[in-house]
A and B are shown apart, each in its own frame.
Chain A
C-alpha cells in the first residue's frame, strides 16, 4: 500500500497505488433540490450504452429515492454496516477508509450484490409517501421526508474498482481522469463489483466481463457533456473538470461550487475514494442524514444555497446548469446576464440572471377555459 493525500479527508491515507493525478479530472455537480426523478437521464444512458445482451439489468445512471430507495438493494447501508460507525466533525477525517479497513486477503472492504439485489431499480421509493386518505405505508418514529438522488460513476481519484482488479484491467485516463474497464483485458472476476462502494460496476453475464459508466468519453473528448447531463429535464447537472483545492479557479464553475463556495459535497467521502461527482445537499431533508451522505459542511452548503436568491453570482451560476451541451469551462456574470464559455474561450451560452416571469390569468375569457400553467 502507498500513502496518498485525499483532500476530501484532509489527510494522507493508504491506497494500493501511489498518487498519480490526471492532467484534468472529470467532475460534476448535481443539484439534488432540482431533481424530479423523471428518469430521463437513466433512459438516455440506457438507450445509448446498455441496450445490449447481458446489459438488461444495468443502470450506469440511476435515480433513487432516499432514504429508502436503492439500486442495487441496500448498496450504501450494507457497506456502512460493514465499515462500522465512524465519527467526523470536521477537520481531518479520524476514521477508517475502505482501503484501511480491508479484511485479510482483500484489497478493499466491499460486498457483492446478488442478482436479486438488482431486481428492483428503486425498491422502497414510495415507502415514505402513500395516499393521503389511506395514510403512509411506512410507520416510522420520525417525520416523513424524501429526496431524489441521481447517481453515476464518480470517476474517483482513488477508485476502489481499479485498486481491487488483480490484473490491472481498470485504468484511469491521464488526460481527463475518466475511469474505464478495458473490455479487451477484463476476465470477469467481479472484484471491482465487490469493491466499488457505489456499486457502479456491473457484471455482464453473457460476455463474462464487467462494464461501467464511461462518462460518455467520446462526447467529453469533443467538449460535449454526457448524455445523462444534456437530457436532464430538471437541468440539475453541470459537467466539467475540477482542480485541486489549492489550484481552484473561481471562473471554473465546478471549482467555484466545490472549492470556493463549498456548496457541493462529495458522496460518502469517508469511504476514501475522493469521488468526483458533487451534490448540492437537499434542503428539506434532515441535516444529520445529509451529514452521513456528504460529510462535514452540509449546514454551510444548505445555508448558502438557501441564500442564493440574494446572491447574484451563485444564482447566476446555478442558472447555467443544463443550459448547454458544450462543457462550460469558464463562466462570468455581467450585470443581469451570465455567460458560459467553452474550453476555447468562445461564449457558448448566455442566460438571464432571472428568467422573466409571466403570470397569466387563471381564466381565458376568449375561449372560456381554465388555463393550466406549465413550466
Chain B
C-alpha cells in the first residue's frame, strides 16, 4: 500500500513538474511570426494567443532626436501575432508596476504602438525611427487614457478629479435647451481641438489611432481608420491587443518588418520620449 502511495505521489510530482516545465518553456521565436487563424482575437486574454510564439523584443532609448529619453525604463515587450489573411493582430505585453491612465499637466499616460512599413520592401525599408521622406511608415497607437474612456470613464473634469467643483459652463445656462444644437455648438466653441476634428481630442469610441509618418515630427492621420484594440491591466503590467489590416502589398506568406514602442507614463514618457525597438522581421503565415 505504501509502495502504491509513493508511486501515486511520484506520478503527481512528475506531472506537476511537467506542467511547470511546460509553463516555463513558453514557445518563443527569433522573429515575429503571425500565425494563421480563421479570425484574429480582439482580447488579450483570448486563448488563441497561447499557440502564437512570443517574440521578446528588447527596447532601447529613443535618444536620436530631441526631445530625447536619456534614462531607460521598460526593458522588453513580448510580442505575439495572429493573422487571418486580411488583418493582423499583435499582442504586446510588458512589465509596468505603475498604471497611468490619466492625462493632466505633467501627468502622462502609458501607451504602446506598432509600426509597419507603408510598402514592404525587404531591400529598402524606411528608417526605423518614424520612417523617412518618401518612405512612409504606418503606425497604430494605443494609450491607456483612451482605454479608460472606452471602458466607461466619463468625459468631465469630475471624472478625473472627483472633488473638483466647476461652478458654471456657459453652454449649460438655463436658457439653452439641454442636448439641443445651440448648446452643442456653444460647447464645441470652447473646445477648439474637437471643433477641428483633432483625433487626439476625443471623446473616443476606440482606444487606438491610425497614423502615418515620414520622419520624426511628421506624424499625421493614417490612410485608413479601421484599426482597433484593447488593453487590460495584468498583475505586473499591461497586455494590449492592436489589430489592423495588413499594409498594402503584404500578403499571407509574405515578409516585412515591424517595430514597437512603449511609453511609461510614470517616467514622463510622451511623444518622442519613449522606449522603442529597431525593425524586427515579421512573417505572415500563409496557410490556415
Contact = CB atoms under 8 A, between A and B. Distances in A.
Interface of A: 47, 49-56, 104-107, 112-115, 117-118, 164, 166-168, 183-191, 193, 202-209, 211
Contact of A166 (B103, B201, B202, B216): B216
Nearest to A114: B106
Contact of B105 (A104, A202, A209): A202
Given A206-B155, A207-B200, 4 more contacts: A51-B168, A53-B187, A105-B67, A112-B268
B219 to A, nearest CB: 6
B280 interface: no
Nearest to B141: A187
Contacts of B103: 188, 203, 205, 208
A211 B169 contact: no
Nearest to A103: B70
Contacts of B268: 112
Contact of B67 (A52, A166, A188): A166
Nearest to A211: B192
Contacts of A104: 68, 70
A12 B252 CA distance: 59
B218 A107 contact: no
Contacts of A106: 66-68
Contacts of A55: 190
A56 B164 contact: yes
Nearest to B63: A105
B105 A114 contact: yes
Contacts of B157: 53-54, 56, 205-206
Which of B65, B107, B201 lies at the interface centre, i.e. has the most chain A CB atoms within 10 A of its CB?
B201
Contacts of A203: 103-105
A212 B151 CA distance: 31
Interface in B203-223: 216-219
Given A56-B157, A105-B69, A188-B103, A207 B219 contact: no
B144 interface: no
A51 B190 contact: yes
Contacts of A53: 155-157, 169, 187, 190-191
Interface of A, helix, strand, loop or mixed by DSSP: loop
Contacts of B69: 105
A164 B201 contact: no
Contact of A183 (B168, B170, B198): B198
Contacts of B194: 207
B95 interface: no
B134 interface: no
27 contacts: A49-B190, A50-B190, A51-B170, A51-B190, A52-B187, A52-B190, A53-B157, A53-B190, A53-B191, A112-B268, A114-B105, A117-B105, A166-B272, A167-B217, A184-B198, A187-B200, A190-B105, A193-B106, A204-B193, A205-B102, A205-B105, A206-B191, A207-B193, A207-B200, A208-B200, A208-B202, A209-B198
Contacts of A202: 105
B270 interface: yes
Q: Which 9 A-B pairs have the closest CB atoms?
A: A52-B190, A105-B68, A189-B271, A184-B196, A207-B201, A183-B192, A112-B106, A207-B193, A209-B193
Given A106-B67, A115-B107, A167-B219, A47 B170 contact: yes
Contacts of A47: 170
A186 B217 contact: no
A208 B66 CA distance: 21
Contacts of A114: 105-106
Interface in B106-123: 106-108
A112 B195 CA distance: 27
A112 B68 CA distance: 16
B180 interface: no
A347 to B, nearest CB: 35
Contact of A115 (B105, B200, B201, B272): B105
Contacts of A205: 102-105, 107, 157, 160
Nearest to A50: B190
